[in-house]
Structure 1
Amino acid sequence: MATPLTADQFISVLKNAGVRVVEHGSWRTHNRNHKGTWGPIHGVMVHHTGPYSTEAGMVELCRTGYTSLPGPLCHGVIDRSGTVHLVGYGRANHAGSGDRDVLNAVIAEETLPPDNEANADGNPHFYGFECINTGVGQRWPEAQLEAMHKVSAALCRAHGWTARSVIAHKEWQPGKPDPAGIAMADFRTAVAKLLGARPPSGSTLEKDKPVYAQFPGSEFFRTGRRSALITAMGKRLVAEGCGKYTKGPGPRWTDADRRSYAAWQRKLGYRGDDANGLPGQTSWTMLRVPKS
């Protein structure tokens, strides 16, 4: 439970997280506060937008809303490049009615119960991010997922929350599917790693499971780099059926490592520049390389 950040604090927190932020109109004062309270704030909620014609059009729709549901429909829209578009601040029409038991679990930072009721208003209590995705099998670009993780972790850090304070719309309101294709236990694992904390139970890094190596940054993986971490990564790529090695893997970063990692990225559904063989935060987290 906390007092919401001011708009200036909010944008500062996001920029300090290392994401690109674009401001739209008078977002600082664009809200639905005349319809009810804003705060106390308890957590962060992530959504997918659903079908869209253009990303710019979806950002504008989230800013203005429509007749039956006026905007803003969130605080930030995260596009597929990872850019965060700020469209409103304060009470927003994004969470709607959800399960009070879920709200209580978020406040207590406990395991979420099933969302089988819609008996609490979430709009006063969650920062909301709409993430551009059709929700019908469209892949999530790594840059977009990284931005989603970063903004969630940044807001948790600002309020002293753990990753348990980050939830999906589908965990809040019965019948909602968003964000489709994202396992929230893994999402919270990535947020917890950014916070430098042990992930919550129920995630992929529980107390009784192995400790995995933190992502060293894409610049770590360059020709000539030698590290036991590269060997550990290569062994995991082989275990996932993505090894392209004629010998090894070994501790020196080679083109075989890059080709193997590109195969892993393609296995995750990435294509084009997102499958260039250079590790990124999200694909690295999902590979689960043991700490050397």
Structure 2
Amino acid sequence: MATPLSAERLLTALRDEGLTVHEYREWRTHNRNAKGPWGPVHGVMVHHTVTSGTEASVRLCYEGHSTLPGPLCHGVIDKAGEVHLVGHGRANHAGGGDGDVLAAVIAERELPPDNDADTDGNPHFYGFECVNLGDGQDPWPAAQLLAVERAAAALCRAHGWNHRSVIGHLEWQPGKIDPRGFTMDAMRDRVRKRLGVPPDGGGGAPEFEPFPGAAFFAPGRSSPIVTAMGHRLVAEDCGRYQVGPGPEWTSVDQESYAAWQRKLGFTGDDADGIPGETSWTRLKVPKS
């Protein structure tokens, strides 16, 4: 469960994962928020477009069609493995799905069968449409599959989720078949390995940085832990950075952490911007 990433943070997270990302038209303000909430977000959903050609597929996912206005996802992943961002906010991609599946995604456990369509998924999932005809014959180039892996891992990393937060449309909505041409179990395993989550047959949990103690956060401290913390603060809409975050503990890091403490309900001296064990554990800083 998390606050959706800002448009800038979404772009940064994808690029930090090594993806080539294109910004399409007015994607940053293109959404269906007038029709309902966007967030809290719980996971990433993968689709195929049932189209061919990058330009036509991206345009369709941005504009939608007469019966389903766009955006139809947040990003389109083309055959070359490049991502085209087409929306930020609520998108018409998930539709009605199984509430038990959503509960499993939130708990990061094995998915149950998708028997019902009783829950609106559009507020709760990031969506990526992959350019593919979905006929079981259209190939999935290695570069495209790698991009799916990277895009899903980027959002999991930003939110502190594990691979169980990544699902296919066919696992959410009864009657759907997408993505067709690879299995979501195989894709989740790729995401798991990229995130460094150990296999355990049930989902596992990401490895988080243990609380290093309040004294660790002293002026002049330089550590990748500080950078990882900063990225999590940005993901939680608490970052106050103009540049960065970077490895050196600064007053901006302290200001950002204070915003996180206040978000958790701390006040006064308990929201002084120096990490404590409770707030640090809640932040879920991934091991760097």
**CA RMSD for the aligned pairs?**
1.3
Whole-angstrom distance in 1 between the partners of 2:167 and 2:186:
12
Whole-angstrom distance in 2 between the partners of 1:189 and 1:46:
14
C-alpha contact (below 8 Å) 2:109/2:202 kept by paired residues = no
Gaps of 5+ in 1: 206-292
Alignment of 1:241-256 (within 5 A): none
Whole-angstrom distance in 1 between the partners of 2:124 and 2:65:
22
In the other structure, the counterpart of 1:197 is 197
Q: Secondary structure at the match of 1:22?
A: strand
C-alpha contact (below 8 Å) 1:37/1:91 kept by paired residues = yes
Alignment of 1:178-257 (within 5 A): 178-199=178-199, 201=201
In the other structure, the counterpart of 1:76 is 75
In the other structure, the counterpart of 2:93 is 94
C-alpha contact (below 8 Å) 2:46/2:129 kept by paired residues = yes
C-alpha contact (below 8 Å) 1:188/1:199 kept by paired residues = no
**Alpha-carbon distance change, 195 to 114 in structure 1, aligned in 2, over 3 angstroms:** same
Whole-angstrom distance in 2 between the partners of 1:202 and 1:145:
23
Q: Secondary structure at the match of 2:41?
A: coil
| TM-score, structure 2 normalization | 0.69
In the other structure, the counterpart of 1:284 is none
**Alpha-carbon distance change, 72 to 33 in structure 1, aligned in 2, over 3 angstroms:** same
Instruction: State the 1:201 CA deviation.
Output: 2.0
C-alpha contact (below 8 Å) 2:75/2:84 kept by paired residues = yes
Q: Secondary structure at the match of 1:77?
A: strand
Whole-angstrom distance in 2 between the partners of 1:22 and 1:200:
36
The letter for the 1-side match of 2:121 is G
Whole-angstrom distance in 2 between the partners of 1:200 and 1:151:
23
**Alpha-carbon distance change, 200 to 176 in structure 1, aligned in 2, over 3 angstroms:** farther
In the other structure, the counterpart of 1:133 is 132
**Alpha-carbon distance change, 120 to 153 in structure 1, aligned in 2, over 3 angstroms:** same
Matched length: 203
Deviation readout 1:180-236 (Å, 9 max, x if unpaired): 021111111100110011146268x9xxxxxxxxxxxxxxxxxxxxxxxxxxxxxxx
**Alpha-carbon distance change, 89 to 172 in structure 1, aligned in 2, over 3 angstroms:** same
C-alpha contact (below 8 Å) 1:30/1:87 kept by paired residues = yes
The letter for the 2-side match of 1:38 is W
Deviation readout 1:153-175 (Å, 9 max, x if unpaired): 11001100000000000000000
Q: Secondary structure at the match of 2:127?
A: strand
Instruction: State the 1:177 CA deviation.
Output: 0.3
| Identity value in percent | 61
Q: Secondary structure at the match of 2:47?
A: strand
The letter for the 2-side match of 1:25 is R
| TM-score, structure 1 normalization | 0.68
The letter for the 2-side match of 1:3 is T
The letter for the 2-side match of 1:70 is P
**Alpha-carbon distance change, 162 to 200 in structure 1, aligned in 2, over 3 angstroms:** farther
Alignment of 1:24-43 (within 5 A): 24-43=24-43
Deviation readout 1:5-41 (Å, 9 max, x if unpaired): 1111000000101010000111010000000000000
Gaps of 5+ in 2: 205-288
